Amino acid sequence: MTSLTPTPADKFTFGLWTVGNPGRDPFGDAVRERLDPVTILRRLAPLGVYGVNLHDNDLVPAGATAAERDRIVAAFAQGLAETGLVVPMATTNLFTDPVFRDGAFTSHDADVRAYALQKTMRAIDLGAELGARTYVFWGGREGAEVDAAKDPRDGIQRMRDALNFLCEYVRDRGYPLRFALEAKPNEPRGDCYFATTAAYLAFIETLDHPGMVGVNPEVAHEQMIGLNVYHVVAQAIEAGKLFHIDLNDQKFARFDQDLRFGSESIKMMFFLVKLLEESGYDGPRHFDAHTYRTEDADGVWDFARGCMRTYLILKDKARRFREDREIQALISEIRAADAGPAPRYSRGAAAALAARPFDRGALAARPLPYERLDQLLIDLLLGVR
């Protein structure tokens, strides 16, 4: 059996904002102290974690002077050196400050857009300084409740302008960074622009430097509207665009919950882990989740351990699935008629196909024992085979 003890080779990462989350919600006050970033490093390292990710303001408070900023960053860099943790990903907080209440890059206000660019340039500098290789964009306020004065096409164009500018900035600086765009359907905005990962996949092709831009799907964001997140991530991988991933969990069709990875959607998370492990994805497995608000300070580390443990359990289930002869034989049976190359067009091929006889009744009668297969998977997931 695969070990269930995490090591840095597993590339598990947590955001400073995740384990550091104090548990404030729309109806209640904070229940835990906000944790110092260096403390987070020291608590995470012994758990086998690979690294941490951060928004600029997770580390450097808004309004810090340059000297404060440098002092904080130095202390944090020392913490990284001490613990051996890395910062593979960084991002910008473009949502907390009231200045962004109607959008950052897509605001109607050219000054707000400029400020958002400036803040992001500085945050990119910070990320690069800390060694990040991926820079994530989540447009928390890019959207609308009222569509009467906002044309979503303006939103798209403004986002394009901002990303083109920032791509140039990164190239000009020579930073070894790639961008990863993160979608969300709604919350905090009534409707967010770029509601799904697929919306970003389409958008990326319209950028000046599409090669350096990919996506950062978040499990819960797709589940909020009931999408099959395994299918979503598969499309991103097929397009060569899975640059990063945010792992968590969610009960469907409700507010953004950011639950411990694998705590709800066992079967779907199995397929997702299997896909990540078998597709060659070698980026971080980042947990963008929160500890239950009922938990105290100690519970945060139970939460972090749980995310990693369930990932490793599911990874081991994926291995067993591959090695299970009955399951693999059944899959071969189901795919038995999947012979032959892809159709290549020629006039002759078209004519031959047009003339080919088909016995629809016979085709419709070929067995597809999915009930049996799915039950074998349930058995495997539940540990009874």
As annotated, the active-site residues are: 55, 58
Are 83 and 41 in contact by the 8 Å Cβ rule? The answer is yes
The count of residues interacting with a copy of itself (CB under 8 A) is 153
Residue 287 three-state SS:
strand
- 34 contacts a copy of itself (rule: CB under 8 A): no
Determine which residue in the list 147, 322, 326, 329 makes contact with a copy of itself, applying CB under 8 A. 147
Of 44, 80, 123, 201, the residue at the interface with a copy of itself (CB under 8 A) is: 201
CB nearer to a copy of itself: pick between 87 and 117: 117
Write down how long the chain is.
385
The reply to whether 118 sits near a copy of itself by the rule CB under 8 A is yes
On the CB side of 373, how many CA atoms lie within 13 Å of its CA? 14
Residue 188: cis peptide before it, omega within 30 degrees of 0: yes
CA 310 – CA 316 distance, rounded (Å): 10
CA distance 112 to 379: 54
Binding segment for a copy of itself (CB under 8 A), chosen from 7-15, 44-52, 80-88, 218-226, is: 218-226
Strands (E), 81-203: 89-91, 134-138, 143-144, 178-182, 191-192
Note whether 344 binds a copy of itself by CB under 8 A.
yes
Phi, psi at residue 34, to the nearest 5°?
-70, 135
- Residue 325 as a binder of a copy of itself (CB under 8 A): the answer is no
209 binds a copy of itself (CB under 8 A): no
Answer yes or no whether residue 72 interacts with a copy of itself by CB under 8 A: no
* 5 touches a copy of itself (CB under 8 A): no
**Cα 44-289-50 angle, rounded to 5 deg:** 30
Residue choice 76, 100, 287, 311 for contact with a copy of itself (CB under 8 A)? 100
Determine, following the binding rule CB under 8 A, whether residue 227 of this chain makes contact with a copy of itself: yes
Shortest distance, position 59 Cβ to a copy of itself, whole Å: 18
Q: Residue 369 interacts with a copy of itself (CB under 8 A)?
A: yes
